[in-house]
Amino acid sequence: MVDSRWQPGLAGLEGFSHLILLYWLNRAPPARLQFVPPFDDRTRGVFATRAPFRPNPIGMSVVRFLGFAAPGVLRVRYLDCVDGTPLLDIKPYLPSTDAEPDATMGWLAPHRTRGG
């Protein structure tokens, strides 16, 4: 639920199909700058991964926006965080700005799970 003092800022979200949610990973383990990911055999830097143990544990999800369940309560799909995780910001997802069709996935390309 979005705190009541911020709810006026939700005006106009209707009509957007997707949102970008930024949140604080308050249950993340201590930061680690390098590690071997579970599905890889090489040491990688945390900034080359989506691991939660970051120096500043800010999480981000692009979610499907399904409207409001109640005032200040967003209905979303594909949110990748634990229930109760503190929400930092909400932004509308703009396919003209936020999608990069020619983007590459670096070392993660062989592990692609969706799309092309």
Q: How high is the pLDDT of residue 87?
A: 96
**pLDDT tens readout for residues 61-98:** 999 999 999 999 999 999 989 999 999 999 999 999 99
Question: How many angstroms separate the CA atoms of 48 and 56, rounded?
Answer: 15
CA–CA separation, 46 vs 51, rounded Å? 6
Alpha carbon distance 51, 34 (integer Å): 10
Averaged pLDDT of the chain: 93
| Span 20-39, pLDDT tens digits | 999 999 999 999 999 999 88
- Asked whether residue 115 carries a pLDDT value surpassing 70, the answer given is no
- Percent of the chain whose pLDDT exceeds 90: 82
Please tell me the predicted confidence (pLDDT) of residue 108: 85
* pLDDT score recorded for residue 34: 98
Catalogue all structural domains in the chain, each as residue range(s) with its CATH number.
Answer: 7-95 (2.40.30.70)
pLDDT band at 113 (very low <50, low <70, confident <90, very high): confident
Choose among 31, 52, 55, 42: nearest CA to 107.
42
